[in-house]
Structure 1
């Protein structure tokens, strides 16, 4: 006769939550406050059970000491929010092609590429939206080499972005003309963006909180970092602003989400206003913010 086994739900105490929140903050710059307890606890319990760790202490020890960092990446993928859609806040794309790129070209030498960086890129909608907008709305696109870089801390969404497959709900804001031109309807009802567009964006993993992840991001001319800094505290925001500043060319621009303000974060950038659109510019050599 064998004894029955009773499965119990691991308990996450306030001290456990605080230890994990501090660990995750140091690794990502994202701060989980007490109002995120349910969100965080549920995912921690899922991973404790999936790894058969038994309790938080054992799981947290494995998380911190695991040499490959695989479990930390899995948990990071679960903890980050990836909500986006095509042509979100499209007025900034209009500003890009009507104003920003002309100013960028003023400090370029013949043959220099134009480098645009989307961070975080989530499942790719923003980066692909920029590529489509450039092709449709910037007459000079054929005369310049435009490099589109897109990065995220979440490896799962990067795989999804590279595949470029979207549900009908994901593309509901895309016009029928654009669907016909840039997407292929799949048998299951989903849509896949064209192969040419998939090859036009370089999707790479990068943690903005880790300088060693940012070596490839240099001489950047335009940054789209929308609705990321709202998840950071003041110290992490200032560190992010410094990281962007170092990656950008003098005269380059950064676009933030409509509820974000670089002026409240850092004095490194100049405020620029084109119509009703506010963007931020790294001063040229000899200029001050």
Structure 2
């Protein structure tokens, strides 16, 4: 007999556990969204009840089923050059300052996209550096992207995109760095795919977050809006620790660090507002 509905108690139990593990909070307005995806996984695993499924998901040694449910619950809406003005800010005043700050520091300039979803953001950063930053000829740059969702990371590594994803890519850039494939799809070049290190990361897990260190620039756009105040502060602390002194943080247009943390200095550049870690 298949499970066709979750009780309010079931929803509350899952919501609390998912929040503790990921920092993402689902309120009652998301009930249909959450129930539908849990029921899908209950059916896929053959669990006789929500409680049986929940126990398996929670205590499975490999945590494979928890990752499956994470992949279903996370939203991945993106496209190339989203909020393009921020990329212009990166290749203009931000990297100029990063170069100046790093004059006495060895090693490459390191840029992180988090969450990177299906790869449009980190690849947009790479394309922007190639097209608009003269300093790329003089400085080594390491690009990385991470996400909690393993399925989108696999798609990012594959680098195949539909027409909507590439709609804002200039035609000359599309011709130079993408190959047209069947179904009006486009695959980004192997060279660019190889230029971005992609890995799984749960920023709400303190042990995992501690591995993020020594970045000069972090793009963390439209993630904090899914967190409550407590989770936002924890994530902000982790992002601060992940940056080098003087490093820069880009947030989404609807996000503001001023309502979350006083750790960062607000920098108002002509192209965008960016948040900077202090030099000391």
Give the TM-score of the pair, scaled to structure 2: 0.97
Find runs of 4+ consecutive structure 1 residues off by over 4 angstroms: none
The 5-angstrom pairing of residues 214-253 of structure 1 reads: 214-253=209-248
Match for residue 31 of structure 1 among 21, 25, 29: 25
Give the TM-score of the pair, scaled to structure 1: 0.94
Match for residue 266 of structure 1 among 261, 270, 275: 261
Gaps of 5+ in 2: none
Given that 1:107 and 1:251 are in contact with CA atoms closer than 8 Å, whether structure 2 keeps it comes out as yes
Counterpart of 1:70?
64
Larger Rg: 1
Q: Does 1:158 align with 2:153?
A: yes
Q: How far 1:214 moved relative to its partner?
A: 3.0
Q: For structure 1, which segment, 268-277 or 17-26, has the greater mean C-alpha deviation from structure 2 after superposition?
A: 268-277
Counterpart of 2:13?
19
The 5-angstrom pairing of residues 36-115 of structure 1 reads: 36-108=30-102, 109=104, 111-115=106-110
The 5-angstrom pairing of residues 100-249 of structure 1 reads: 100-108=94-102, 109=104, 111-249=106-244
Q: How far 1:216 moved relative to its partner?
A: 3.8
Q: How far 1:262 moved relative to its partner?
A: 0.5
Given that 1:10 and 1:54 are in contact with CA atoms closer than 8 Å, whether structure 2 keeps it comes out as no
**Between Structure 1 and Structure 2, how many residues are aligned?**
279
Q: Once superposed, what is the RMSD of the aligned Cα atoms?
A: 1.2
Secondary structure class of the residue paired with 1:192: strand
Q: How far 1:72 moved relative to its partner?
A: 0.1
Secondary structure class of the residue paired with 1:209: coil
Q: For structure 1, which segment, 7-16 or 241-250, has the greater mean C-alpha deviation from structure 2 after superposition?
A: 7-16
Q: How far 1:118 moved relative to its partner?
A: 0.4
Q: How far 1:212 moved relative to its partner?
A: 2.3
Gaps of 5+ in 1: 1-6
Given that 1:10 and 1:55 are in contact with CA atoms closer than 8 Å, whether structure 2 keeps it comes out as no
Secondary structure class of the residue paired with 1:272: strand
> Which whole-Å CA distance do the structure 1 matches of 2:95 and 2:171 have between them?
28
Given that 1:10 and 1:56 are in contact with CA atoms closer than 8 Å, whether structure 2 keeps it comes out as no
